Structure 1
Amino acid sequence: MIPGSLTETDDRSPVIIGALRTPIGNRHGIFRELDTTALAAPVIGALAAQLPAGLEPSELVLGNVRGPGGNPARVAALAAGLDPRVAALTVDRQCGSGMAALEYAWHRCRSMPGVVLAGGVQAVSTQPLTAWPPTADSPARSYERAPFAPPPWNDPEMGLAADLLAEEHGIGRERQDAYALRSHQRAVTARQAGVFAAETVDIAGHHLDERPRWGFTAARLARFPPQFRTGGTVTAASSCGVSDGAAALVMVDAATHARIGVPGLRVLGCVTAGCDPDRPGWGIVPAVQGVLEHTGVGLDEISVVELNEAFAGQVLACADGLGLDERRICPDGGAIGLGHPWAASGAILLVRLFSALVRSGRGGYGLAAIAIGGGQGSAMLVQACSLTSSVAPAGRSGEELA
């Protein structure tokens, strides 16, 4: 049994019945003046307004990385107009915070009936400045991230760790550039086709993701220099963008879902696993392996795969480690093309699966996974369910799905 395994595929599996997000803005871009409340509250309010008659949320849980302090989830809940009796919790698991919020909701809905709103928010552009206090030997020192691991681990910056991971797994520059180009092209194509429209809440007059590059070509990507070390292969163009954004989903217990009879995503399993803290990008591999093992579902059975694209070299190393065809990852573009608002990204992956499997009517299984600073990874396996579908034994048989 893998530590952190949380899976059981039985008739108690909670169901996601709603999913929305903001557009994703570049750091100091379209949302440069907005804080976590301004980003999260409109999404929460829109989700609450879509709840079926008679349903009221009992709790809101949001992921947020090193944000304004206090309890951003509570402030956002009140700003969204939720009843003050609705409890609120903020969680921080670095880039996995949004998915951690969904894990919390999954436990909550398994332990008692009710409705939980869960997601994540990151307002990097307005994030408070932080500093280590002065000592007798040094002045105050500002920092953008806290340590992810203590000595004797090296605790490298995420970009350097991704570059080293790519080298160790034989992921060359040309393949990384090709992957990054595909992410942008897919994101641009999806945006032009209106694929994201139904899942996106207008924020301050903005309704389109800011990052996708219309003019990228292989020749342009090839001109980018190594970003993190001399002789490296990871560039700014093959890395995700640091971004602002929020996402949230509605999860209900199985009995409530059976009563209200709406389509949704049944959450079959959640796994968070650890890996080498000096190669944090690898965390996707043990997490995905764990969730597939405990649900009995194979990669070849999954309709849509959403892995957070922190760096092309990193996600390609993970794909190879899983035996996963890289072209199956993020069919409408991922974080390289759309951006990576840290604490929101895990929730955005599930919003994307909700649109791909439920809104589209496609049905089937969906897999989401994200790597986490400090050497962790989280993965969730979901299954689209129609108004009348039942849970298949061991998470198998998709014939009954919407």
Structure 2
Amino acid sequence: MTKQIQDAFIVAATRTPVGKAPRGMFKNVRPDDMLVHVLQAAVKQCDGLDPTVIDDVIVGCAMPEAEQGINVARVALLLAGLPNSVPGITINRFCASGLQAVAFAADRIRLGEADVMIAAGTESMSMIPMMGNKVAMNPALFQNDENVAIAYGMGMTGEKVAQQWRVKREEQDEFAMTSHMRALKAIELGEFKQEISPYSITEKRPDLITHKICDLSVIKDTDEGPRMGTNMDVLGKLKPVFAAKGSVTAGNSSQMSDGAGAVILMSAAAMQRFNLSPIGRFVGFSVAGVPPEIMGVGPIRAIPKVLKQTGFKQDDLDWIELNEAFAAQSLAVINDLGLDRAKVNPLGGAIALGHPLGATGAIRVATLLHGLRRHKQKYGMVTMCVGSGMGAAGIFEAL
């Protein structure tokens, strides 16, 4: 018996503020605790939801080990107080892990296999280094030129893209400056307040009068990455960090970050049962592969693929959240596909706001849906390049 595809609706989407790694506000906060926070916050937004009906919790994490290991999805959902009956799974598609979690959750609902799903992402780049605590690549990667690019550092892939797509250093710095300017303006206007669930951090401080150690709670509700005073002169003085004569610098690359995000999806029947209203609808998702040495251009393949799959055209999109792994790859994607720059990252991107790897997709879904609704726009996309040579893109409708 063939099942009819049904719609998957988003009823809640929230995130932590994003902290700078490795010495930012979340440097001592565990990634599973950040995940607990957003799971609790998302469920709280669904007043009246019976948590026993949650079919599964899918969590993206790019380096699922140590403090974010041992199936962090299941651990965190239990710590969040969800019933033992709720299962959880951790998935990894590197930078697209959070978006992939949303797509997997939506697919379960669309196929009629689930009615209530939670998709999330978490990452602490302060606690778990890039590539993890133990790097143990297959020796075969280094035995021929065909596979060695899989082992390239992300920065080198950025340099390769800059060379092949002829993206100049000045263009990259201008793009980075715009990212910071847009993000700072967005924070000033309160654009992120609706999507952020403030996080209380308890710090131990010495009291010089009583000579005792006191607990001090600090509420964090603002992204830490955007830098005041970022300009072309400041960016122009930064040296390339991946190639001696290259153009990719710390200033025109995404920031290492800590953060988490969570999205709750439901079928129409579940929304009606719990008297909830949707904030968005999942439309479609695609992934595609590209040569690992130019992994940054993955969206050049993924975006047309999801547009064809859903019957959309680029012009149908009002808002595009393009993850800024590097200014070089962002510009290559924008220029190659002819994306409207005014629609791309109107509130700034990862160069300013940060990129907590496996959490970014879920975080940017929250930004997209709340932004579309706030600005009375309809359709948007979250897209990013993915390590080892992939691209991902998902389309959403604001309701």
Same structural fold, with TM-score higher than 0.5 when normalized by the shorter chain:
yes
> Which whole-Å CA distance do the structure 2 matches of 1:345 and 1:281 have between them?
16
Q: Deviations over 1:111-145 (max 9, x none)?
A: 324211101000121227988xxxxxxxxxx6568
Secondary structure of residue in 2 paired with 1:198: coil
How far is the alpha carbon of 1:147 from its aligned partner? 6.9
- The reply on whether 1:309 has 2:309 as its aligned counterpart is no
Q: Deviations over 1:168-225 (max 9, x none)?
A: 1111011111000000111111111111111111222211111100111111111111
- 2:122 is aligned to 121
Q: Which runs of 4+ in 1 moved over 4 A?
A: 128-131, 142-149
Q: 1:293 to 1:173 in 2, by over 3 A?
A: same
- Residue 97 of structure 1: aligned partner: 97
Deviations 1:339-396 (A, max 9, x none): 01000011112111111123x16131101101110111111011123xxxxxxxxxxx
Question: Structure 1 83/128 Cα, relative in aligned 2: closer, same or farther at 3 Å?
Answer: farther
Matching residue within 242, 249, 258 for 1:228: 242
Instruction: Give, in whole Å, the separation in 2 of the partners of 1:130 and 1:168.
Output: 26
Amino acid corresponding to residue 60 of structure 2 in structure 1: G
The 3 A distance-change label for structure 1 pair 249 and 314 is same
Q: Which amino acid aligns with 1:231?
A: K
Displacement after TM superposition at 1:236 (Å): 0.6
- Structure 2: distance between partners of 1:153 and 1:83: 45
1:8-19 to structure 2, matched below 5 A, reads 12-19=6-13
Does the aligned pair in 2 maintain the 1:113–1:255 contact within 8 Å? no
- How many Å separate the matches in 1 of 2:42 and 2:139? 34
- Aligned residues, how many? 365
Letter in 1 for 2:117: V
Q: How does 1:122-141 map to 2 (within 5 A)?
A: 122-127=123-128
Give 3-state SS (helix, strand or coil) of 1:104's partner.
helix
The 8 Å contact of residues 305 and 329 in structure 1, kept in 2 or not, is answered as yes
Question: How far apart, CA to CA, are the structure 1 residues paired with 2:224 and 2:194?
Answer: 17
CA contact (8 A) 1:43 1:247 kept: yes
Distance 1:293 1:223, change over 3 A: same
2:154 corresponds to which residue?
158
Unaligned stretches of 5+ in structure 1? 1-9, 132-141, 386-402
What amino acid sits opposite 2:292 in the alignment? P
Matches within 5 A, 1:49-68: 49-56=44-51, 57-66=54-63, 67-68=65-66
Q: What do you get for the CA RMSD once the two structures are aligned?
A: 2.1
Contact 1:149 1:374 in 2 (8 A): no
**Secondary structure of the residue that 1:328 maps to in structure 2?**
coil
Structure-2 residue corresponding to 1:34: 29
> 1:63-121, CA deviations, whole angstroms, 9 ceiling, x for partnerless residues?
11223221101111011111111111100111111111112101211232421110100
Alignment of 1:2-401 (within 5 A): 12-28=6-22, 29-56=24-51, 57-66=54-63, 67-68=65-66, 69-111=69-111, 112-127=113-128, 143=134, 150=141, 151=144, 152-155=146-149, 156-203=152-199, 204=201, 205-257=219-271, 260=275, 262-358=277-373, 360=374, 362-385=376-399
**2:115–2:269 CA contact under 8 A, matched in 1:** no
For residues 33 and 252 of structure 2, what CA distance do their matches in structure 1 show? 30
C-alpha contact (below 8 Å) 1:64/1:92 kept by paired residues:
yes
Whole-Å separation in 2 of the counterparts to 1:266 and 1:148: 44
The amino acid of 1:30's aligned partner reads: M
Using the alignment, how far apart are the partners of 1:258 and 1:77 within structure 2? 25
Aligned-partner Cα distance in 2 for 1:241–1:189: 19
Query: What secondary structure, in the 3-state scheme, does the structure 1 residue paired with 2:90 have?
Result: strand
Q: Is the 8 A contact 2:5 2:110 kept in 1?
A: no
Unpaired runs of 5+ residues, structure 2, are 202-218
User: Separation in 2 of the partners of 1:83 and 1:16?
Assistant: 21
Tell me, in whole angstroms, the C-alpha distance in 1 between the residues paired with 2:249 and 2:139. 23
Task: Summarize the Cα distance change of 1:148–1:253 in structure 2 as closer, same or farther, 3 Å threshold.
Answer: farther
Compared CA separation, residues 168 and 15, structure 1 to 2 (3 A): same
User: How far has the Cα of 1:285 moved from its partner?
Assistant: 1.2
Tell me the amino acid that sits aligned with residue 60 of structure 1: V
Cα–Cα, structure 1 residues 146 and 247, in superposed 2: closer, same or farther, change >3 Å? farther
Supply the AA of the counterpart residue of 2:265.
M
Structure 2: distance between partners of 1:324 and 1:333: 16
Checking the alignment, whether the CA contact within 8 Å between 2:324 and 2:351 is kept in structure 1 is: yes
**One-letter amino acid matched to 2:287:** T
Please give the alpha-carbon distance, in whole angstroms, between the structure 2 residues aligned to 1:365 and 1:149: 44
Percent of aligned positions that are identical: 34
Q: Which amino acid counterpart does residue 223 of structure 1 have in structure 2?
A: K
Measure, in 1, the Cα distance between the counterparts of 2:70 and 2:335.
Answer: 41
